[in-house]
Structure 1
Amino acid sequence: MLGLLRLAVIRTALAAALTLSAGVAAAHAHPHVWITATSELVYGPDGALTGVRHSWAFDDMFSTYALQGIETKQKGVYTREELAPLAQTNVESLKEFAFFTFAKAEGKKQKFNDPVDYYLDHNNGVLTLHFFLPLKAPVKSRELAVEVFDPSYFIDFTFADKDPVKLAGAPAGCAFKFERPNDGTATAQRMSEDNFLSGDNSNYGAMFANKIEVKCP
């Protein structure tokens, strides 16, 4: 019954599926949705970080489920307009999960406003969500850290092989380092299993965080 309920929710929206699975310990053991991501850190003219622009390409199975029931003028072709209600459902639901994006400026946590400029597109069977996530207050910082992950590990975020991260409008001299999750190492796997077995599942997915570190002069 639980599997059927989860399937029904997945057909409706990504974040709703997470809500359903959040209380299920078994769901924390491995992901059920896979996302290939790229992220762009966007700076204003004054050199302050204004937010993060994400593009999240969903796996084939999730894309197929999410599109069920959507009416289109041309079979198999989905326009931005036709996908707009689904895009809105997704971005509105992301707030409950902190947008899977966690930022710190010189060690101080930063908060985000709701996503803007969002839309979905569909190409070669893949559904991709694009949106800009603005900071509540733009921040100037010599050291900035951004992590992208799902704390419950219901969703696996894998960044694209080519140009996974970019800086847009960053001040001269700023440079970033991108670190993928250590998911393949014995140490990370052992720590994850220990946390899961001990019942400490609240931030299980942090073991698989994608980390962006920016340093500016």
Structure 2
Amino acid sequence: MPVKMPIALLACAAASLLVSTVPASVHPHVFAEARLDVMVNGDGTVKSLRHLWRFDDLFSSTVLMEFDKNADLKLDDAELKEVSDTVYASLAEFGYFQIVTTNGKDVEMKPPAQLMANYQDDQLIILFESEPKAPLKLDGKVDFGVYDPTFYTAIDFVEDENMAVADMPAGCTRSVIRPDPDEAIAQNQSTLTEAFFNDPAGTDMSKIFATRLELNCTAKDRLRE
């Protein structure tokens, strides 16, 4: 169902990687720098994912104009609450744009208990924390990322350190995967349909281009040192 401005602009995508490989009409309009922190329990299970998205100045000013009801050129607590409620509702149907897989299988996440919005230095900041629906052990290959099937907004982890693990178990290795668009398409050619090439925003395959934090862990080393 269509959503009014600026809710549609808050549907976030890692689309900047696709400009050279998909139709010219599909490109990001909104940009955000992100941070992802994976929190780990003492038994080697994932406690939660902590997300921070900092939006570009142009989009942030659009949000300010839309939600600044008293026209004082700032967002007070009540206005920020309206922003957070709007974003929370609009992201729900997309699973809050999270990618979590373990050994190639999707992991279901609980909806975040709440979402916080802040407006600082002329930028909109979104923060939320989510937990796995079932216990998620760090065993084998576990991937985390963010993507949006609408290709509207590019969420960028500018530095590899912006995808971090708190209290990573001994024996786990961490790497940040930044897929090459051409290689990603070639590797997934058999699963990409004509619909993807005609209208990528109408499919769920944009996740193959998303930057991912990949953890590789052995079963015997789940516990921290």
TM range (shorter): 0.7 to 0.9
- Aligned to 2:145, what secondary structure does the other structure show? strand
Residue by residue over 1:155-206, the C-alpha shift from the partner in whole angstroms, topping out at 9 and shown as x without a partner, is: 21111326211112332332311122425xx6568999x9678426213523
Aligned match for 2:159, one of 158, 161, 165: 161
Distance 1:17 1:169 in 2: 28
Do 1:12 and 1:66's aligned partners in 2 also have CA atoms closer than 8 Å? Answer: no
Q: Which residue of 1 aligns with 2:98?
A: 101
- Indicate whether 1:11 and 2:9 are aligned: no
Higher relative contact order, chain-length normalized (CA < 8 Å, sep 6+): 2
**Structure 1, gaps ≥5 residues long:** 1-5, 19-24
- Indicate whether 1:59 and 2:60 are aligned: no
Aligned match for 1:34, one of 28, 31, 36: 31
- Indicate whether 1:45 and 2:42 are aligned: yes
Q: TM-score, normalising length from structure 2?
A: 0.74
Do 1:47 and 1:169's aligned partners in 2 also have CA atoms closer than 8 Å? Answer: no
Distance 2:106 2:162 in 1: 23
Distance 2:115 2:197 in 1: 39
After superposition, the CA RMSD in angstroms is 3.3
Q: Which residue of 1 aligns with 2:75?
A: 78
Do 1:28 and 1:154's aligned partners in 2 also have CA atoms closer than 8 Å? Answer: no
User: Normalized per residue, which structure has more strand?
Assistant: 1
- Indicate whether 1:178 and 2:176 are aligned: yes
**Structure 2, gaps ≥5 residues long:** 14-21, 219-225
Q: TM-score, normalising length from structure 1?
A: 0.76
- Aligned to 2:93, what secondary structure does the other structure show? helix
- Residue identity (%): 27
Farther off after superposition, 129-138 or 159-168? 159-168
Per the TM alignment, residue 149 of structure 1 is displaced from its structure 2 partner at its CA by 1.3
Kindly tell me the number of residue pairs found equivalent between the two proteins: 202
